[in-house]
Structures are given as structure tokens and as C-alpha cells.
């Protein structure tokens, strides 16, 4: 949220939506202690006893994931099941993050792109893209209010168009 406000500014009252969070699948109530305990301890916000309890809970969840136990407490079973259910989605999200951070953010965008026709793109994102007309995916990433999901949708469209152009060029260079 702070990064959004500092780097992108705010052209309307700022509201925090989980849909705008970059890694929203990780932002769950049931894993807040696991996500935040290391930083909280390092900042001196929690004492060593509470920190050790949070780490022990995390270890118990990992043990339960490795070897299910029907006698485990309900809260522990629910947390492990939640992690198990989200595992595939989290892997896909981490892959998308690696793609976006791995230099994929500077792909050129066709100036004739009709953003309203991109599947999976919200009308709000399409409207913002159409208004700004970014020339690259890196520029699109800096448009205020654009979500990581919208960027991934745009990136996939641009990459598919590049692949089609490469295939057409290869076919033209080597006719059968």
C-alpha cells in the first residue's frame, strides 16, 4: 500500500482492497502470525516467548503437511488443509512474480491494442490502459490503480502476440 501511494500517487480516495494486493493469496487471516512474526520480532514488537510460540505453530503445520495426523487439534488441521488447498495457486502466483521480475516487464505493446478485447482484463484496467496508451509493459506497471493481475493479463497478451509474429516470420523465411 505504501509503495503504491509513493510510486503511483492517488487520484481518488485511497481504499485498500485485497484485490489490489500484490500477493493476496498469501494475505490470509490464518497465516498472519507465520507471515509477520519474523519482522515483528526483528522490530522488537513481540517478545521472544511469543515469537517462539509462532515459530513452533508454523513447524507443527509443516509437520502435519508432511504426515497427516487425525488426532491433531482442529485449528492445526484447518490451517494445514488451507495451506494444502492453496499450494497450487501459490506456486502459480510465485511463477508469475518470477516472470514479472525477471525482465519481462519491458515488452513493447502494439499501439493498436484494443484493451477492451483482452480476456480476463477488468473494465477498469482496460479503461486506464486505453486512456494512458502505454508503450511497454514496464510503463503499464506504473499506471496508478493497475493490479498485478491486470499486468499479468496484459503481459500474457503481448507475449502471445510476439510468439505469433515470430512464428509468422519464421514461416515466411522458410516456405514449404
Reported as a pLDDT band with limits 50, 70 and 90, residue 2 is low
Reported as a pLDDT band with limits 50, 70 and 90, residue 1 is low
Cell numbers placing 38: 519474523
Q: Is the pLDDT of residue 51 over 90?
A: yes
Q: What per-residue confidence (pLDDT) applies to 144?
A: 85
Q: What per-residue confidence (pLDDT) applies to 21?
A: 65
Residue with cell 502459480: 92
CATH 1.10.150.570: which residues of the chain?
A: 105-173
Buried b / exposed e along 96-110 (16+ C-beta atoms within 10 A): beeebeeebbebebe
> Please, where are the H alpha helices in the chain?
2-8, 32-42, 48-66, 74-101, 123-132, 137-141, 148-173
Cα atoms found within 13 Å of the Cα of residue 119, Cβ hemisphere only = 2
> Which residue pairs, CB below 8 angstroms and at least 24 apart, start in 72-80?
78/30, 79/30, 79/31
3-class DSSP state for residue 88? helix
Reported as a pLDDT band with limits 50, 70 and 90, residue 152 is confident
Q: Is the pLDDT of residue 104 over 70?
A: no
What is the CATH code for 105-173?
A: 1.10.150.570
Which tens digit of pLDDT belongs to each residue from 60-103?
999 999 999 999 999 999 999 999 999 998 888 888 777 766 65
Residue with cell 501511494: 5
Q: What is the largest CA-CA distance in the chain?
A: 72
3-class DSSP state for residue 136? strand
How many C-beta atoms lie closer than 10 Å to residue 76's C-beta? 15
Residue 40: CB partners within 8 Å, gap ≥ 6? Answer: 46, 51
Amino acid at each position: 500500500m505504501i509503495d503504491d501511494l509513493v510510486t503511483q500517487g492517488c487520484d481518488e480516495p485511497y481504499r485498500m482492497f485485497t484485490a489490489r494486493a500484490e500477493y493476496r493469496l498469501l494475505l490470509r487471516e490464518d497465516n498472519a502470525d507465520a507471515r509477520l512474526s519474523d519482522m515483528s520480532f526483528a522490530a522488537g514488537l513481540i517478545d521472544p516467548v511469543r515469537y517462539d510460540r509462532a515459530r513452533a505453530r508454523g513447524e507443527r503445520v509443516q509437520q502435519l503437511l508432511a504426515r497427516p495426523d487425525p488426532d491433531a487439534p482442529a485449528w492445526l488441521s484447518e490451517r494445514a488443509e488451507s495451506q494444502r488447498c492453496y499450494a497450487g495457486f501459490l506456486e502459480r502466483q510465485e511463477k508469475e512474480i518470477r516472470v514479472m521480475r525477471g525482465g519481462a516487464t519491458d515488452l513493447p505493446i502494439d499501439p493498436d491494442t484494443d484493451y477492451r478485447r483482452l480476456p480476463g482484463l477488468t473494465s477498469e484496467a482496460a479503461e486506464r490502459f486505453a486512456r494512458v496508451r502505454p508503450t511497454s509493459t514496464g510503463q503499464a506497471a506504473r499506471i496508478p490503480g493497475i493490479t498485478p493481475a491486470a499486468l499479468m493479463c496484459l503481459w500474457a497478451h503481448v507475449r502471445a502476440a510476439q510468439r505469433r509474429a515470430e512464428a509468422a516470420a519464421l514461416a515466411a523465411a522458410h516456405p514449404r
